[in-house]
Each structure stands twice: as structure tokens, then as C-alpha cells.
Amino acid sequence: MDSAAYTSRLAEELAPGILDRLTRYVRIDTQSRRDRTSSPSTPGQLELARLLAEELHTVGLIDAEVDDNGYVMATLPASPRPPADGVAIGLIAHMDTSPDAPGAGVEPLVHRSYDGGVIRLPRGGTALDPARMPELADKAGHDIITASGDTLLGADDKAGVAEVMSAVAHLAAHPELPHPALRVAFTPDEEIGLGAALFDLDRFGAACAYTLDGSSLGELQDESFSALEAILTIHGVDVHPGQATGKLVSALRLAARIVASLPEDLTPERTAGRDGFIHPFELNATAGQARIRAILRDFDEDGLRAHAELLERTARAIVDSAPGARLELDLHRQYSNMRGYLERVPEVVAAAEEAIRAEGIEPMRNPIRGGTDGSLLSEMGLPTPNVFTGGHEYHSVREWASLQEMAAAAAVAIRLAEVWSRPKYAEVARSRLTPLRSGIASS
């Protein structure tokens, strides 16, 4: 193995455990399902949840359990030195995988000491071409993990789960390493936007937390999209086509016109950086009735409102032009930009920056073009920025992860625990975070 690719001795030491865990976890199908009727949305998540609770117990955490909604929580008590102050820091990752790519029957493959060329996977004609994947291009020498070509890998977010598990297992086995009490949570249904919905903040009891659910080495995200979902239902007038002259009003054709009328430069594929978008992602239609589901995203609230107004104006103009047709619009909030909440206690992000630097990596602060459990958790009163995991090309059959980057992420989690044991940070946790939590909870 090429140890030069590791960011530290610690990372290299953690790597075998992380690889073992990731390759075990991804074989369990934990794909979540939209429009759930219970939590978690799918039984596979509960299977993984039970396995993780058992494993947390085995590696030495106390009170590991799965709650009624499928959330796994456990505690690693504070190290003997420095003396415990009663404040806990949280580490969070999500157990489910995206419904947007096949998630059953994942067969992970390990490409040891990657040679920098095209990786051809055995199924589905899938290839990972570094010419089209700049992030893969500079990973020569890394150990790359992929699926087999016809499923996603599930590194989103089982890389994060494996890293958190490996980090707390390491700390449990090394009582000489200083850290405050750590609370671990593995959440269900993050990919359908509900990972934080039934998260029991009081039971978790941490002053602040970190999701390990990012991507590239060094990423530290304290800003996410603000997010709305729009469901447009168009009622047409359905008549047998033979008798339709002058009577039929096709909801399907109206829906198609609405989608086609939205600006092409306001799509996820045409925007980048800090630009928002309107993304119709599902269309079910017959002549009688059509339903368009779309997500609206922007980093600022004015931008988001403008997208919502544009969508409504466009849909109304088209539906109103067809006598007899009717539009129903359901617009609801999914999550808000976490930045405003994190800025109140800048030490939460600063501690993560220190930990990333301590691992010899330059932190990359960039906004998430998406949301994490942390978007809602921060809003609910638990400041929760997002840290990289080393996984890439999420939600696709080309998903891959670098073992060296995953090991770096786990090492960062261990260093983060040390940072929070320093007097300056322990004081911030005691005096500013815990009151902030209860202040929000009681208001």
C-alpha cells in the first residue's frame, strides 16, 4: 500500500477499519422512499440501524439504542483528562441512500493503488473516466472504492457512518486521548429531506454537532441552500378523444407547456456556485390530471421567493389560458440556509477548521448546493456544519470514494474531539452553546 497518499499516521491506522465497515454497510439496501408513511421509510434502514447500535456497543460506547423512529444514538463518555465538564459534542451521519439511483444489491469493489486511468466496472457498461472527473484525476495511488456499475455505492453517507464509527472506536480504545463526551447519531431518511424531522434534540443533548456528509478532502460547509418544494396539480377536462372536439382540455399538454416555459438558465445543470434554480424532477400526467413536483433552491431568501413567484406566474398564465382547467399549487419549506444560525457561534466552524488543519489539510469553505441534516438541525437550535467524507459522484452508478480521504475524515473527527477539550472551546461550549440551545428551545 502506498502510505504516501495518507494525510497522517493516524489516518493510515484508521483505514483498514473504515474499509471493512464501509464495505459491510453498503451491502445493506437502505434506500429511502419519498412520501413515507412511517419512519424510517424502508425496512433496510432499520436493519442497518440495529447493526450499528450493536457495533457501537461492541466498540465501547454506552447507551447505544435505536429509537422508535429508527434513529441510532450512543454516548462516548468524556476522557478522564482534562476533567469532564458535562458538555457533549455531536457527530452525525445518515444511514439511508438516495432514491435517485438503484440501491439494492450493491457489490463494492476496491481498486487498490489506483493507476490514474479509466476504471471500467463489470456491469452496465459503467466507466469512471478521469478525463471527465477532475476529482478522480488526481487520486493516482489512492485506494478507490466503487460499486459494480449498476447501483450507487452508498458512500453517501455510509462513508460518513464508517468514519464516525471508526473515530469513536479509536477514541474508546485510547483513553489517553483528550475529548469531551461525544454523542453519536445515525439518522434515517436524510435523502428525502426528513433526517432531522424526528431527531430528538433533547435526547441527543449535544451543545453542537458535525455531520460527516460532504465530499472533497478539506470541505467544511457552513452554508446550505434555502429550499422549497412545489407540487403543481393541473386538472384538465378529460373527454373520449373521438368526442373531444372543442371540449378536451389536456392536463398533460398544459404540464408540458409549463415545464417548457421555465427559463433554461435557471436549471441545476446550467447554474453553479451561488446561483439558485427551479428543478422539476417528477411529472405524472394523463389528459385528465397532471402533477409536477419541483424543488426550488437559492442561498438567499429573496432569490428563493423570486423563483417561487416565477413558477407560480408561469403556471397560472398557462392554466388560465385554457378554459375549464384548474391549478392547485402546494408550496412548502424544506429547509433554510444554516449560515445565519452558525454565525451566532463562530467557534463551531472554527473548531472544525483547526481540526482539519491539524490533519495537515487546508480547509475549503464552500456553500453546499443542497441541504444536510445540519440545515434543519441548526435551525432547530443545534449548530451543525458539514465536514467532508471522501465520497464523490453521489446519487449515481459512478459513485466512488477514496479510502485515503475517508481515513482523513475520520482522523479529523478525532482531532475535532481534541479541539473541543481545550479550555477555550470547553468554555464556549459551556457558556454560549448550551444556553443558546435552551434559549431557542424555550422561545
Residues marked active site are found at 96, 190
| Nearest distance from C-beta of residue 191 to Zn ion, angstroms | 7
In order of 38, 174, 335, 368, 438, the CA distances from 338 in angstroms are 27, 34, 9, 10, 18
CA 159 to chain centre: 11
| Nearest distance from C-beta of residue 395 to Zn ion, angstroms | 9
Strands 144-146 vs 62-66: parallel, antiparallel or unpaired: unpaired
Site string for Zn ion, 201-240 (x = CB under 5 A): ------------x---------------------------
Distance CA 18, CA 1 (A): 15
Q: List the grid coordinates of 65.
A: 439504542
| Nearest distance from C-beta of residue 403 to Zn ion, angstroms | 19
Q: Which one, 189 or 213, has the nearer CB to Zn ion?
A: 213
Phi/psi at 67 (5° precision): -85, 180
Q: Which one, 22 or 207, has the nearer CB to Zn ion?
A: 22
Distance CA 407, CA 400 (A): 14
| Nearest distance from C-beta of residue 401 to Zn ion, angstroms | 12
Q: Which one, 287 or 352, has the nearer CB to Zn ion?
A: 352
Q: Which one, 156 or 219, has the nearer CB to Zn ion?
A: 156
Q: Which one, 156 or 353, has the nearer CB to Zn ion?
A: 156
Q: Which one, 156 or 189, has the nearer CB to Zn ion?
A: 156
Contact criterion met (CB below 8 Å) for 8 and 360 = yes
Please give the residues from 396 up to 435 whose contact with Zn ion meets the rule CB under 5 A.
none
Residues in contact with 127: Cβ distance below 8 Å, sequence separation at least 6, in sequence order:
118, 119, 120, 121
| Nearest distance from C-beta of residue 264 to Zn ion, angstroms | 28
Residue 120 CB burial class (10 angstroms; 0-12, 13-18, ≥19): exposed
Distance CA 312, CA 315 (A): 5
Please give the residues from 150 up to 169 whose contact with Zn ion meets the rule CB under 5 A.
156-157
- Going 320 to 310 to 306 to 381, the CA torsion angle's sign is positive
Residue found under cell 500500500 = 1
Residues in the chain: 443
Sheet hosting strand 88-94, strand order edge to edge: 62-66, 72-76, 181-187, 88-94, 208-212, 386-387, 219-221, 364-365
Residues in contact with 242: Cβ distance below 8 Å, sequence separation at least 6, in sequence order:
none
Q: Does 189 bind Zn ion (CB under 5 A)?
A: no
| Nearest distance from C-beta of residue 426 to Zn ion, angstroms | 30
| Nearest distance from C-beta of residue 157 to Zn ion, angstroms | 4
Q: Determine the size of the site formed for Zn ion (CB under 5 A).
A: 3
Q: Which one, 97 or 314, has the nearer CB to Zn ion?
A: 97
Residues near Zn ion, by CB under 5 A: 156-157, 213
